[in-house]
Amino acid sequence: MKILANDGISQSGIKSLTDNGFEVITTNVAQEQLVDFINKNNIIGLLVRSATTARKDLIDNCPGLKLIGRGGVGMDNIDVEYAKSKNLHVINTPAASSASVAELVFAHLYGGVRFLYNSNRNMPLEGEANFKGLKKAYAKGVELRGKTLGIIGFGRIGQEVAKIALGVGMNIIASDKFLKKVSVILSLSTGDSIEVNIEIKEFDYLISNSDFISIHVPAQKSYILNAEVFSKMKKGAGIINTARGGVIDEVALIDALDSGHLSFAALDTFENEPKPEIRLLMHDKISLTPHIGAATLEAQDRIGEELAEQISKLLK
């Protein structure tokens, strides 16, 4: 029984699958060659992350395929309902990467309030000749403690973000279409834990009362943050998107940054992946990462092991 992990899988995941009698192939097959490779090699399970897609044409043309797995949360690169209608198992790993994404949010957030995204670009260029000038330029940072973080989408990842924010001493405003009240539990390294109740607020309330906003929603059909929404935010607010490209109107975002209404943005995902707009990449108020929210060694181990466990239960 062969499993193709086309976007890779951790060694722990490979070992777990191998121990359960599966052959794991980690060759990265080009999208246009994928159907032919799956059929010629009798692949019964296809594992993807964000690079490979599993659309209707692949599903229709791979009759031997029994399972499609997504190493991560969002499954917008898979035609999920169609696959299920063809009796394929469709699985993902919704909890495995939550902590890693939340930590990236704060990497960007700390970098934003202390201008690290821009300082790291300019110090190699001007650090020797213009040290004092750069020091003055980056001398107006702010602390996160006491500030308000708005979290749009309060599922697993949003709640992990809230836990870190609470530990930092931030106030939380959460908005979610499907929740009314959530209790989050902060587990401390001492073994102690603290339970905090967080009420879900209206979207407009969050927008107008947050110092920083972090987005944690699935792919959407329309923008969540557009020019109208930006205009309602506090002057000097910052935005972090580690969710999906297409939830922010990137043109309106640049306008809001250029006008000074927003102080900075941090983007891990983009509308046009894997070729983000050059205006975003070159903007001096945007902190950038190439869709690495779940890309920690620990998260990849958890993802691989969770996929292996589900595959073994479904296909053996």
Query: Which contiguous run of DSSP H or E holds residue 46?
Result: strand 43-48
Q: Which 3 state secondary structure label does DSSP give 222?
A: coil
Tokens of 8: 């890779």
Euclidean distance between CA atoms 316 and 308, whole angstroms? 11
Active site residue 244: yes
Active-site residue identified among 108, 156, 244, 283: 244
Strand 181-187, strand 193-199: pairing: antiparallel
Euclidean distance between CA atoms 222 and 224, whole angstroms? 7
Q: DSSP readout, 99-161?
A: HHHHHHHHHHHHHHHTTHHHHHHHHHHHTTTSHHHHHHHT-----STT-EEEEE--SHHHHHH
Note whether 18 and 5 are within 8 A (CB).
no
Active site residue 283: no
Active-site residue identified among 108, 283, 291, 302: 291
Measured distance between the N- and C-terminal CA atoms of the chain, rounded to whole angstroms: 9
Euclidean distance between CA atoms 239 and 213, whole angstroms? 5
The DSSP symbol for 181 reads E
Beta-bridged to residue 184, according to DSSP, are 196
The Cβ-side half-sphere exposure at 301, using a 13 Å CA radius, reads 5
Note whether 247 and 223 are within 8 A (CB).
yes
Longest Cα separation, the chain: 66
Active-site residue identified among 23, 103, 273, 309: 273
Euclidean distance between CA atoms 178 and 217, whole angstroms? 12
Active site residue 291: yes
Catalytically annotated residues = 244, 273, 291
